[in-house]
Amino acid sequence: MNNHKLLQTVNELMAGDKGLLAMDESNPTCNARFKQYGIDATEENRRAYRELLISTRGLKEYISGAILYDETIRQVTLEGSPMARAVTAAGIIPGIKVDTGAKAMAGQAGEKITEGLDNLRERLEEYSSMGARFAKWRMVITIGKNRPTLVCIEENTSALARYTMLCQEAGLVPIVEPEVMMDGDHSIEDCSRVTGLVLREVFHKLNGQGALLEGLILKPNMILPGLNNSNQNSVDEVAAATMSCLLRNVPAAVGGIAFLSGGQSANLASHRLNAICTINREKGIWPLTFSFSRALQLEALEIWSGKESKTLDAQNKLFESTRRNSLARSGHFSNTY
């Protein structure tokens, strides 16, 4: 395992007040978002949109890494440059989503198991040769009646740890994403309890398989009440619950933590990140940042809506969103907005 290379990439990804741009939506997810804004679900539209994102002027000021999807990394820009090379040329580290999706888990109604271990060693080698320096794998846990089951947590975390080991062997930094979903009417305490259970199992498996914790980035959910819970906690309550869950359950050795947005509004995600990072500056152990998809992109996507004439306006919005979250990372968001 090339520890030095892994640590170097982690340092670059977590540097300064930058964060990660998750732009690795699978085709069905990307098409569903396009549909909301009347954009045709074509390969060329997906390519044009991803090129719009990565060619945003000055993006590297606030973004250290961009997570691509398999289709995207195989595409080229209008000028003929392979996407990963274009990302690198923009001063941003290219990463790649390598799981092949969360599928219905046989025997466990309503639960999902993430797939993608088949041929992963060979796929990582190929992605690495295309310029990717880090990878992402997302497992999904839902909270509901009799959910999550222990077997769902067990199997998903085992796969997550196997992915981690293969990434580190290949010299790619693994982003380890155990997402506890916001859907449901559960309380913030339920989210904290389940997320804690899942994180403990994630690190039990990672340690069991010998992962280099310093050479990976954890991508967790914030600790939130379910979307349908009538008690939506304050920003400060969310920040306190999130930090205490992480402090209790994430080893200090972990190289960095980059939050997913999980369907929160762009504004709330930034406010909550700001409050979490403010506590982290006093109590925290890890570098902490954002790795948002929806909270960074949706406003820009709406402006673009598939119209070439709106490209610059959409890029300006993306730039503003990345700046807002960079300010949140340093705890300066609410003072300035």
Of 25, 111, 177, 299, which is the active-site residue? 177
Is residue 1 exposed (0-12), middle (13-18) or buried (19+ Cβ within 10 Å)?
A: middle
Binding string, residues 123-152; x marks residues near ligand 13P by CB under 6 A = ---------------x--------------
> What is the footprint of ligand 13P within residues 152-181 (CB under 6 A)?
177
- Pure H helices in 250-287: 266-283
Number of residues interacting with ligand 13P: please give it, by CB under 6 A.
Answer: 10
Q: Which is nearer to ligand 13P, 286 or 292 (CB)?
A: 292
Q: Please, what is the minimum distance in Å from the beta carbon of residue 79 to ligand 13P?
A: 27
Which residues are paired to 285 by β-bridges? none
Our CA dihedral for 192, 197, 199, 202, rounded to 10 degrees, sits at -160
Sequence-distant (6+) residues with CB within 8 A of 49 are 30, 34, 39, 301, 304
Q: DSSP secondary structure string, 57-72?
A: TTGGGTEEEEEEPHHH
Residue 202 in contact with ligand 13P, rule: CB under 6 A: no
Q: State whether residue 151 is helix, strand or coil.
A: helix
145 in active site: no
Give the C-alpha separation, 64 to 287, whole Å.
Answer: 13
Select the residue interacting with ligand 13P from 47, 272, 294, 329 (CB under 6 A).
294
Residue 293 in contact with ligand 13P, rule: CB under 6 A: yes
Q: Which is nearer to ligand 13P, 134 or 292 (CB)?
A: 292
> What is the footprint of ligand 13P within residues 222-261 (CB under 6 A)?
260-261
**Which residue, among 36, 11, 15, has the nearest Cα to 25 in the 3D structure?**
36
Give the C-alpha separation, 82 to 77, whole Å.
Answer: 6
Of 18, 112, 205, 219, which is the active-site residue? 219
> Among 83-91, 199-207, 280-288, 289-297, which window interacts with ligand 13P (CB under 6 A)?
289-297
Q: Please, what is the minimum distance in Å from the beta carbon of residue 184 to ligand 13P?
A: 16
Residue 292 in contact with ligand 13P, rule: CB under 6 A: yes
43 in active site: no
Enzyme catalytic residues: 177, 219
